[in-house]
Chain A
Amino acid sequence: MTHEFEQNQTDLLILGAGGAGLFAALHASSQAPELDITIAVKGLLGKCGCTRMVQGGYNAAMAVDDSIERHFMDTIEGGKWLNNQDLAWTLVNEAPRRIRELENELGCFFDRNPDGTLHQKAFAGQTFDRTVHKGDLTGIEIINRLSEQVWKRGINRLEDHRAVELIKARDGSGLAGVLMMDMRTGSFRLVQAKAVLLATGGGPTMYKYHTPSGDKSCDGMAMALRAGLPLRDMEMVQFHPTGLIAGPGTRITGTIIEEGLRGYGGHLLGGDKQRFMSRYDERAERATRDIVSRAMYSEMRNGNIGPNGGLYITMKHLDSREVRSRFKGMVERCHDCGFDLVGGDVEVVPTAHYMMGGVEFGADCQTEMSGLFAAGEDTGGVHGANRLGGNGVANSTVFGGIAGDAMAKWVPTAGVFREPDLDAAQAAIAATLYPFRIDGGHMPDIREKLYDVMWEDAGILRDAESLARAKGSVDDLHSELMRTGIADTGKAYNLSWHDWLNMESQILISKVIIEAAIAREDSRGAHFREDFPKIRDLENSHYTRITLRDGALNLSTQAVDFNRIKPGETLLDA
């Protein structure tokens, strides 16, 4: 059967409207105003993705006593030497310029010192106070200002559009375009483009407790993988120590309780209402994210838990007025949802926050497929084994801007409308409509099972046995998904259909995470193997690289190129 679809053309198609996508659109339109630029987003422009949710801030070496080299060393040390050093170098070099662009050209206003100079705050894992911020709502300021500049420039918007598949050229020369679904009608359109940016964001939303926004389901990584592109460092999933836990029936579960509370003196308590962190680290609650998350997970595994299965954070031993004024946003959020952060014990749990891994790409944002560029959380290599707080929004905006510039330069010289492989488009539509042809099954069960498997067997603490179990379980869940259908009540804005498609992406990427975690037999950064608890052989660091060929995942390891600095060396003067 032949499916109908519309066909459109645009010079430059951007998938995703977070920090990376919006910056790419602005840079491309400035560099090459003659280009027809289209930005597509799964929801509304300016409201999706995680840049908007950034609380902490943006790392940039701007202070007189700080340096690019120092930011670089913090990023590499934090990444446990797994980073692609050219990418990390590009990040730290461009970050200050991007902050000035955000302020001077786009209209952001970041917090100031009383004398009018930029305020930069301390953030974990860094040797200098370099985090630029706007209160604890930095992301809103950045995305609001980017969005209004995009609206102003007449860039085409495809809102409520889901990217379904990367469609290659019939002659195999590269990418021809992207098959999209207009979610409002459920109809398909093939958008042909000379260049495409993959900037959909990653988001470890397959874990029982997770922080990212609900639109994120690893679709970009899944499409890239299916198109034959390699994903690197996929075992590296960062957990934030404190997410709210209020049962499976509320979407508030998993969302962040900010890090600053522990820094300010907040205590973590077990189900027995006793502190426990000092048994794990002399810094107690102020230890780094990975250590606190592991300690909390151990307590939970030992059954020292509250009614919802979590632990507690409490501020009640501190000055309540001070807590209320310093953490206004967080206190209000908790209050709205029925929790008292000032005088009570709020149940919390470590929560999956960010994927360091992703599509391999170069410092000019090109991927190995001609015509496809990538930026933001869809990519891997910038952060290595762990991301510093404040380097996430720097990553999306720095590389988003670079991608916009690079595509604007590339399209006029090398970009052509390639003839799309229409058979591939037909096959992708058939695969997308698949759940309507199946009867039975219950989608929410699969989601809950996937949450549990990833959390328990491929989460904060892993070993060979748990990962083998996870691999079998996720394969089973994939089979179960293929036996689970969606009632055809109409295709317009059919959330249950999208839940199914999201689950398909999440299951595929879960398999990749598990495969990479099995291969890495040491513990570093976000990846902790109980059977290999030490970091091993730093000088011979390798990263994992996974491709999909004929339906099977292939793993290889690649040596990290220490082209700027080797373990044990530093770029800083003694």
Chain B
Amino acid sequence: METDQLSVSIWRGGDGGAYQTYQVPRLESQTVLDVVTYIQREIDPSLSYRFACRVGVCGSCAMTVNGKARWTCRTHVSRVAENGALTLNPLRNLPVVKDLVVDMAVFFDKWEKAMGAFVGDKTRDQALAAVSPSDPKRKEASAGIECIGCGICYATCDVVDWNKDYLGPAAMNRSWTLINDERDVARIPRLQAIAGDNGCLGCHSQQGCVERCPKSLNPTGAIAGLKRHTMKAALKGELT
């Protein structure tokens, strides 16, 4: 049943914090981001949260909503409220700055460690590569390319929780798109970067990342691809 009030419990103040509960009027068009905005503007100006684009493009506003990591700018309250209540926490697996705001530096650092940056051998003075959009490798790369780096998969992943050095789903999803990018020339160093237990072998295929990705990407599938490629490369002696 929809009620005209929403009861919102928010974790305040990091490790030594506590839940604080607010009553927020229900509106017809209301996202979880709108709820925290209302609280900060009208009830408790000290509440901290992060957002930027408002439309699911930047991945700044993710948090834990009723136990699940979600982007909040495009999460309609009517789809997630349980008995007229919401419980909000910061994203898991990332250090908390304050309230619902996390520091994502480690997430970006791992993207870099997984060699998530393109390495080409052509310059701005050369023509673009001719690449057919129907080429199977290109299709595989394109399937994973629309990641917005919101960190939802990273926060959901239990392996990240157990092993702080595990690169995580988003970073390796990017590596996989590059392995399939025929213009990239760093295949072997990239496979070396993601091999081992902190890389693709750490994945237990629990698929939390797949279930939670707001862009419907498949990082588990990408990591499985990396496993196959590292194994083949290792057998050929390319990774030593």
Contacts and interface: CB of A to CB of B under 8 A. Distances in A.
Interface of A: 43-48, 52-53, 97-101, 103-107, 109, 111-118, 137, 139-141, 144-145, 147-149, 151-152, 157, 159-160, 184, 213-215, 246-247, 249-252, 255-256, 333, 336-338, 443-444, 486-487, 489-490, 492-496, 499
Nearest to B79: A336
Nearest to A447: B41
A442 to B, nearest CB: 9
B124 A495 contact: no
Given A46-B149, A117-B130, A493-B98, A105 B47 contact: no
A116 B42 CA distance: 54
B43 to A, nearest CB: 11
B240 interface: no
Contact of A214 (B54, B105, B122, B126): B54
B234 interface: no
Nearest to A256: B55
A492 B98 contact: yes
A52 B58 CA distance: 7
Given A109-B141, A250-B29, A495 B75 contact: no
A336 B28 contact: no
A112 B29 contact: no
Interface in B78-115: 78, 97-99, 101, 103-105, 108-109, 111-112
B219 interface: no
A307 to B, nearest CB: 9
Contacts of B146: 137, 140
B235 interface: no
11 contacts: A100-B123, A105-B123, A114-B132, A114-B133, A117-B128, A137-B146, A152-B117, A250-B30, A492-B97, A494-B46, A495-B45
Nearest to B100: A493
B133 A111 contact: yes
Contact of B124 (A43, A105, A113): A105
Contact size range, B: 35 or more
Given A104-B120, A148-B174, A496-B45, 8 more contacts: A114-B132, A157-B105, A214-B51, A252-B55, A255-B54, A255-B55, A333-B55, A499-B41
A136 to B, nearest CB: 11
B14 to A, nearest CB: 11
A251 B48 contact: no
A171 B27 CA distance: 56
Contacts of B101: 493
B124 A97 contact: yes
A105 to B, nearest CB: 6
B57 A52 contact: yes
Given A52-B53, A151-B108, A486-B45, A141 B28 contact: no
B116 interface: yes
Contact of B27 (A97, A100, A159, A247): A247
Contacts of B60: 43-44, 47-48
A486 B45 CA distance: 8
Interface string B52-80: 11111111100000000000011110100
B123 A104 contact: yes
Given A151-B111, A251-B51, A495-B49, A336 B132 contact: no
Contact of A215 (B52, B74, B145): B52
Most A Cβ at <10 Å: residue of B29, B116, B132, B181 = B29
B46 A496 contact: yes
B174 A251 contact: no
A267 B30 CA distance: 26
A444 B129 CA distance: 52
A251 B181 CA distance: 37
A333 B34 contact: no
Interface string B150-188: 000000000000000000000000100010010110000
A120 to B, nearest CB: 11
B103 to A, nearest CB: 8
A151 B99 CA distance: 26
A107 B121 CA distance: 11
A487 B46 CA distance: 8
B3 to A, nearest CB: 16
Contacts of A160: 97
B174 A112 contact: no
Nearest to B51: A214
A290 to B, nearest CB: 23
Contact of B118 (A107, A159, A256, A338): A107
B50 interface: yes
Instruction: Give the interface SS of chain B, mostly helix, strand, loop or mixed.
Output: loop
Contacts of A152: 112, 117
A333 B99 CA distance: 27
B38 interface: yes
A436 to B, nearest CB: 12
Nearest to A98: B124
Given A115-B132, A247-B29, A107 B184 contact: yes
A298 B13 CA distance: 49
Given A152-B112, A489-B45, A490-B46, A103 B128 contact: yes
A151 B34 contact: no
Contacts of A105: 120, 122-124
B9 interface: no
Contacts of A98: 124
A249 B34 contact: yes
A48 B54 contact: no
Contact of B145 (A113, A116, A141, A443): A141
B1 interface: no
B118 to A, nearest CB: 2
Contacts of A147: 108, 149
B124 A493 contact: no
Given A490-B46, A494-B46, A107 B174 contact: no
A249 B27 contact: yes
Contact of A140 (B41, B57, B75, B141): B57
Contacts of B31: 250-252, 337
Given A44-B104, A444-B42, A493-B97, A336 B56 contact: yes
Contacts of A496: 40-41, 45-46
B52 A47 contact: yes
Contacts of A151: 108-109, 111-112, 117
B52 A251 contact: no
A104 to B, nearest CB: 4
Nearest to B150: A47
B54 A213 contact: yes
Contacts of A45: 108
B10 interface: no
A333 B124 contact: no
B147 interface: yes
Nearest to B42: A444
A251 B34 contact: yes
A17 B148 CA distance: 16
Nearest to A49: B52
B128 A148 contact: no
B81 to A, nearest CB: 13
B213 interface: no
Contacts of A337: 29, 31, 74, 76
Contacts of A46: 108, 149
Contact of B45 (A148, A157, A487): A487
Contacts of A118: 128
B145 A109 contact: yes
